[in-house]
Amino acid sequence: MPVVQVMSTFHSEARVPTAVGMFRLRIYGGPGDNGPIAIIAGESFTPEPTAVRLHSACFISENLGCLGCDCRQHLDFAMQHIAAGGGVVVYLRREASGRGLADQIRKGACRFSGPSPLHRESFETAAMVLRDLGVRTVQLMTDDPGDADALAQHGISVAGRIPLGVADGPSIDLTGAFPQPALVHGQSLDGRTEGPELNVHAPSGHDD
């Protein structure tokens, strides 16, 4: 088994109370301050298999409540599961499938459903985090059998899978909902349309 190159380094840890329980958040550094976060329930892990979810960040689902994918439901399920019995959610702060947020919006936000496939670097990073936590064998929360094989290639033994128990959300395409691309900081997300210049005049301090 080749040695996995460590791509992230531990930065800090804190306890965070949430609606479903108390968690330890362990923050790792990465390129562009975009490293993974370990959401941990439990103080330590035994050689017995640990419940683990590898979760790719999805801004539009987790923050905006987008109905076209079920990423938020998957995260909620995983956090509730580990709150009840211990475990780890490795939260990967790159958008799912290696797609950046701008690219995801440009290609049509909310028009995919089901679990988003993790990219290769996700498994390498997740394995590094799990080894740092002393986790060597996992029960992997996923509906995709390929995830178990991919994680095992990076030295983490997968004893079994835990179904996510979340029905696929509806497939919704909002790309035609607006007549023109939305403008962000003077430029559309597809890079083709520039917004108008804004002339902002400072107040003179004199009344008219």
Residues 57-91: pLDDT tens digits? 888 778 887 777 788 899 999 999 999 999 999 99
Q: Which structural domain, as residue segments, surrounds residue 161? A: 9-188
Residue 109 forms part of a structural domain: yes
Residue 2 forms part of a structural domain: no
Residue 194 forms part of a structural domain: no
Res 3: pLDDT: 41
Domain at 122, CATH number: 3.40.50.10990
- Return d(Cα 127, Cα 123) in angstroms, integer: 6
Res 26: pLDDT: 94
Residue 141 forms part of a structural domain: yes
Q: How many domains does the chain have?
A: 1
- Return d(Cα 34, Cα 121) in angstroms, integer: 13
**Averaged pLDDT, 122-138:** 93
Residue 146 token pair: 């390929």
Residue 175 forms part of a structural domain: yes
Residue 31 token pair: 């390129």
Res 32: pLDDT: 60
Residue 206 forms part of a structural domain: no
Res 187: pLDDT: 43
Residue 72 forms part of a structural domain: yes
Q: How do residues 135-168 score in pLDDT, each as one tens digit?
A: 999 999 999 989 999 999 999 999 999 999 765 5
- Return d(Cα 41, Cα 23) in angstroms, integer: 5
Residue 22 forms part of a structural domain: yes
Q: How do residues 17-34 score in pLDDT, each as one tens digit?
A: 999 999 999 999 865 667
Q: How do residues 89-107 score in pLDDT, each as one tens digit?
A: 999 986 444 455 666 566 5
